[in-house]
Amino acid sequence: MTIKNNPSEIIRKDQQFVWHPYSSLTDPIPAYEVVSAEGVYLQLADGKRLIDGMSSWWCAIHGYNHPELNAAAKDQIDRMSHVMFGGITHAPAVSLCEKLVDITPQGLNKVFLSDSGSVSVEVAIKMAFQYWISQGQPEKNKLLSLKGGYHGDTFAAMSVTDPVNGMHHIFDQVLPQHYFAPKPEIGFNQEWNNTDIAEFKAILEANHQQIAAVILEPIVQGAGGMHFYSPEYLRQVRALCTQHNVLLIADEIATGFGRTGKLFACEWAGICPDIMCLGKSLTGGYMTLAATLCNDEVSRGICEGEAGCFMHGPTFMGNPLACSVANASIDLLLSQDWHANIDRIESVLQQHIQDFSDLDTVAETRVLGAIGVIEMKDPVNLAEIQRQFVEQGVWVRPFGKLIYVMPPFVITNAELETLMKRIYRVLSK
Ligand SMILES: *Cc1c(COP(=O)(O)O)cnc(C)c1O
């Protein structure tokens, strides 16, 4: 039985059968039916057209329905959609892995492809643990992460996500316990002071013999609070990890591919992690794919151990369709002056976000690269504010006190101005 073009029926059955992200099925917030998308626009079933301020959760950097990405998908689907990766290889995966090694910070030389961001975090954590087991130090089985962080929804990823946002208390009996350092307080452009990292340093100094790896989001803590912290913090984390023989995992799933104004946010601090996770915009938002990169020390260390190999291998590893679109997306990004483009978006965001600071309801605004954040004094009513945004013709999905935009990189100045003005209209009411 299929449902054909009956919007109200789709919404009704959606509420009857379908979970949405972080949603209730007993008290559902209505979802909006999208029938197509093009450039920066989402087309709703009821005829409304919305400017997308979210890039479908950081992913659709080139906008929707892009001819070059479409062509890559169509070309690949006529050859093969998928073939197993155990014992078999193919050009789309090999060329993607070579490209990722090429463009990520120097030293990350090996690539493990997987299905989604959370899985790439599981893979990164498993790499770190298996590395130390192989080195004869299985007691290094704890992780150190930062409060205010977000690393995904699977169990290992959840265990290093902010304990309050991740509601660790309700999962107390099932989550592994790790170390958390305070959220870095000093902002991206603020003057550095060593007190900001003092507690992180103390935890690492006291417990490094049990700690396999530090895991963090470089520069931008995304879903945990849209917070931009000082590059000096990241530089010192790198130095402390090296000093105490602890691996550093950089989760660039949200920040990778230009979003912050650098191709990878680690570049703001000029550092290279031992392990890096990529996802989200890897395929330009076309389909799910993620990658975990590591350096030669980690790959060699793992393979020297008892298992002789890394103990992981997803069914859809290296999916050719996803790899082909990822190749096309990265080529498209690098073929343009993407850096100047992000600067352009940043300056338009900066011009318009200042107006919001004058509203009584707004606590703070901040911009970095193609990310604009309006932090309210109080949490917003999601269903109500989303309805008002849709009425104004924009797609923005706040969480908690945070109203933020991270538009597709193809957004024009005029579209971005319209987006910001419409958000202002809702917030100033
Ligand atoms: C979104 C995100 C993840 C999880 O990725 P999924 O594809 O949703 O599993 C992990 N880490 C960061 C920093 C993210 O932004």
64 given a catalytic annotation: no
Q: What is the CATH number of the domain that holds 413?
A: 3.90.1150.10
Ligand 1 centroid to Cα of residue 355, in Å, is 31
Q: Are residues 400 and 299 in the same domain?
A: no
Structural domain count, the chain = 2
Q: Are residues 244 and 218 in the same domain?
A: yes
Q: Quote the DSSP letter at residue 223.
A: T
Q: Quote the DSSP letter at residue 313.
A: -
Ligand 1 centroid to Cα of residue 118, in Å, is 6
337 given a catalytic annotation: no
Q: Are residues 308 and 419 in the same domain?
A: no
Residue 343 resides in a domain: yes
150 given a catalytic annotation: yes
Look at residue 29 in the predicted model and tell me its pLDDT.
Answer: 87
The Cα–Cα gap between 197 and 228 comes to 15
Q: Which residue in 280, 286, 401, 404 is the catalytic one? A: 280
**Domain around 423:** 32-65+338-427
The Cα–Cα gap between 108 and 273 comes to 8
From first to last of the 429 residues of the chain, give the pLDDT tens digit. 455 556 689 999 999 999 999 999 999 888 999 999 999 999 999 999 999 999 999 999 999 999 999 999 999 999 999 999 999 999 999 999 999 999 999 999 999 999 999 999 999 999 999 999 999 999 999 999 999 999 999 999 999 999 999 999 999 899 999 999 999 999 999 999 999 999 999 999 999 999 999 999 999 999 999 999 999 999 999 999 999 999 999 999 999 999 999 999 999 999 999 999 999 999 999 999 999 999 999 999 999 999 999 999 999 999 999 999 999 999 999 999 999 999 999 999 999 999 999 999 999 999 999 999 999 999 999 999 999 999 999 999 999 999 999 999 999 999 999 999 999 999 998
Mutation pick for ligand 1 pocket among 116, 253, 404 (CB with most ligand atoms within 8 Å) = 253
Q: Which residue in 52, 115, 196, 251 is the catalytic one? A: 251
Torsion, Cα 145 147 150 151, to 10 degrees, reads 10
Ligand 1 atom at minimum distance from 116 CA: 7
277: β partners: 251, 292
Q: Which of 334, 355, 387 is the last residue of a domain?
A: 334
Ligand 1 pocket residues where CB is under 6 Å: 116-118, 121, 150-152, 217, 222-223, 251, 253-254, 279-280
Q: Which residue in 22, 27, 172, 358 is the catalytic one? A: 22
Residue 15 resides in a domain: no
**Tokens read off for 424:** 């202002």
Runs of H (alpha helix) within 248-406: 296-304, 320-334, 338-357, 382-392
Q: What is the CATH number of the domain that holds 94?
A: 3.40.640.10
Q: Quote the DSSP letter at residue 33.
A: P
**Tokens read off for 386:** 């989303």
Distances (CA, A) of 252 to 50, 96, 276, 318, 368: 28, 17, 7, 19, 15
147 given a catalytic annotation: no
Q: Which residue in 150, 229, 233, 404 is the catalytic one? A: 150
Which letter, b or e, does each residue of 269-294 get, where b requires 16 or more Cβ atoms within 10 Å of its Cβ? bebbbbbbbbbbbbbbbbebbbbbbb
